[in-house]
Amino acid sequence: MKELVEELKDASKNLFGVDIEPEITRPEEQFGDYTTNVAMQLAPMLRSGQAGQLKNPPAGGPQEIAEQLVKKLQGSSNLAKVEVAGPGFINFWLSDQALAALLGVKLAQNLAGQEIVVEYSDPNPFKILHVGHLYTSVVGDVIANLLEVAGANVHRVNFGGDVGLHVAKTMWAVLQNLGGELPEKLAQIEKNQRPQWLAERYVEGNRAYDDKVSAKPQIEGLNQRIYQIHDRQDKTSPLAQIYWTTRQWSYEYFDDFYARISSHFEKYYPESETVELGLNAVKENISKVFERSDGAVVFKGEVHNMHTRVFINSQGLPTYETKDVGLILKKWQDYHFDKSVMITGNEIYEYMQVVLKAVEQFAPELVQKTTHITHGLVKLTGGVKMSSRKGNIIQADDVLAAANEANKKINRQENFDVALAAVKYAFLKQRIGADIIFDPAESVSLQGNSGPYLQYALVRAKSILEKSSVDSRQSSVEGFGPEERGLARKISEYPEVVEEAVNELMPHHVCTYLYELAQVFNSFYEKNRVIGDKREGLRLKLVKSYASVLKNGLEILNIPAPERM
């Protein structure tokens, strides 16, 4: 495509004396390999006299401009055909040799040298991982992958609340369960029961805070003491031993889960490490950005058509807002990023807008470099039963288990890689932003638009390649047949699709393309024998390119590419 763009630029310059960046897109196959509206781009420029050396101004508008460009381009060795369409569009058909040359095109490195931080997952210690954490982990991994294949140096980071009221609620219930500040009793909790045990304590503490009059001041007192444990670096008091031990349980649980889904992080930021930076920034900007109100420190968002939020409460403790301020500053301190990407649920969009607006008042460059991506809820199809907490919190493990059970029932196989592919693809194929309906049975189908379908498509292509003894490297392209050309054309789209996904930070573009590619391949294979055909070498080259693109795409989606199924 770059060669075609350059030819159009040269033709526009030679004919009309105009420097222009042509817009080129992919039309439906019957309308060519590429199309451009460059004549419509040029028409107003020529009418306004921007053409420097134009000798014969076209009188007929875009259509005549297009006709002149077509005449100029007809001798190009890259083009088999070029013609004017409609009111001034130009459609291009590449030569078979030019199309074949695109099969090995590398992905654009438009972000080479950039430092980019991608923050996602963000679970809180002392709680269970739910389906939202699974979703943002899956999506975050792929967005990080997209940025990496575009050449960026990507730093994957995670953030979670190891201090705050939710921790105090859990600690209150832990102490009730242990019968006091008795850290030695923690040894009675079996390792495989620890995450669920802590999650149940949080639920108990949360209920007690809301329902028991006596519990509320006790929990708030514990909240103060937990901050003091960090301030004093206390490792030895009974409460500190309980706190540090159970926090480590959470981190071990997170690590195990991320390993299972092939996710990883360079750094985990606990809120206790961002508090000081955030507090200092807020205090330094009181009267300039923040103001005192009823003993608290707030940011008056109404000035910016937002709402007011508390950054330091009346007890002198930092709120989530201040910790998020500290996180932004900490990421900048650690990475001096060119771009920072945050991925969270839609429900905190307005909250985060206020935080960013506050930071913008004293560190505008950091906000300019920050992109906040939000996603909807993951919901279940009607009639699918999964365990939950408080009636609406679906555990991450339950989603994976449901896909695994559906795979056993429908495909009669037990393969965690297939179940994982099913869940990941079901999440990724939807555009980020809206709610997602997850159907375990649909997700594992080998017939429809699913992760296992693409895994099977790759295995099938590898099987074809293994059966041949012909060296495809010795084959030249003397001319594509219709289905051969259709497959080559589809394969050639891959770098453009990845570039679009990178620019928009939208993985669903890759999913849509891979599914369409597999369908095009199926159509090709139904009508074109590969092994034993006189065109075996050429067709093997196509199969090899197809398998390479499919494998590369699955790797970007962080979906296992199996050897057998």
Q: Which of 368, 385, 373, 326 is nearest to 348 (CA)?
A: 373
- The label of the residue with tokens 């392209």 reads 477
Q: How far apart are CA 304 and CA 103, in angstroms?
A: 51
User: What CA–CA distance (Å, rounded) separates 493 from 174?
Assistant: 56
Q: What is the pLDDT of residues 524-545, one digit of tens each?
A: 999 999 999 999 999 999 999 9
Cα distances from 361 to residues 282, 472, 561, in angstroms, run 11, 61, 47
- Report yes or no: 18 and 49 within 8 Å, Cβ to Cβ: no
Q: Is the pLDDT of residue 55 over 60?
A: no
pLDDT for 352 beyond 50: yes
Over 90: is that where the pLDDT of 384 sits?
no
**Rounded percentage of the chain residues whose pLDDT exceeds 70:** 95
Phi first, then psi, for residue 91 (nearest 5°) are -105, 140
Mean pLDDT of 143-167: 97
Rounded Cα gap, residues 236 and 76, in angstroms: 78
Considering only 65-79, 141-155, 177-191, 272-286, which range has the smallest mean pLDDT?
65-79
Q: What is the DSSP letter of 318?
A: B
351, amino acid identity = Y
pLDDT at residue 58, as a whole number: 62
> Is the predicted pLDDT of residue 273 greater than 70, yes or no?
yes
CA distances to 232, 313, 353, 537 from 124, rounded to whole Å, are 22, 21, 21, 55
Average pLDDT over residues 92-106: 90
pLDDT band per the 50, 70, 90 thresholds, residue 223: very high
Tell me the mean pLDDT in the region 405-434.
96
The class (CATH top level) of 115-160+266-375 is alpha beta
Average pLDDT over residues 224-250: 97
Tokens of 276: 């000081």
Mean pLDDT for the stretch of residues 406-425:
95
Q: What is the CATH number of domain 2-94?
A: 3.30.1360.70
Q: Quick one: average pLDDT of 86-103? A: 92
SS3 26: coil
Mean pLDDT of 212-231: 96
Bridge partners of residue 83, in order along the sequence: 91
Tens digit of pLDDT for each residue in 286-305? 999 999 999 999 999 999 99
Q: Is the pLDDT of residue 391 over 60?
A: no
Mean pLDDT taken over the chain: 93
The whole-number pLDDT of residue 497 equals: 97
Rg for the chain (alpha carbons), in Å? Answer: 29
Reading the block at residue 146, the tokens are 């997209």
Which CATH fold would you assign to the domain 388-556?
Isoleucyl-tRNA Synthetase; Domain 1 (1.10.730)
Residue 387 has pLDDT above 50, yes or no: no
Q: What is the pLDDT of residue 462?
A: 95
The arithmetic mean of pLDDT across residues 234-242, rounded, is 98
Q: Is the pLDDT of residue 97 over 80?
A: yes
pLDDT of 563 above 90: no
Quote the pLDDT of residue 59: 59
Give 390's pLDDT tier (boundaries 50, 70, 90): very low
Q: Is 60 exceeded by the pLDDT of residue 51?
A: no
DSSP letters, 430-446, are SPBTB-EEE-HHHHT-S
pLDDT at 386 over 50: no
Instruction: Compute the distance between CA of residue 495 and CA of residue 491 in angstroms, rounded to an integer.
Output: 9
- The answer to whether the CB of 181 falls within 8 A of the CB of 239 is yes
SS3 159: strand
pLDDT of residue 388: 38
Annotated domain spans of the chain: 2-94, 115-160+266-375, 165-260, 388-556
For 73, the 3-state DSSP assignment is: helix
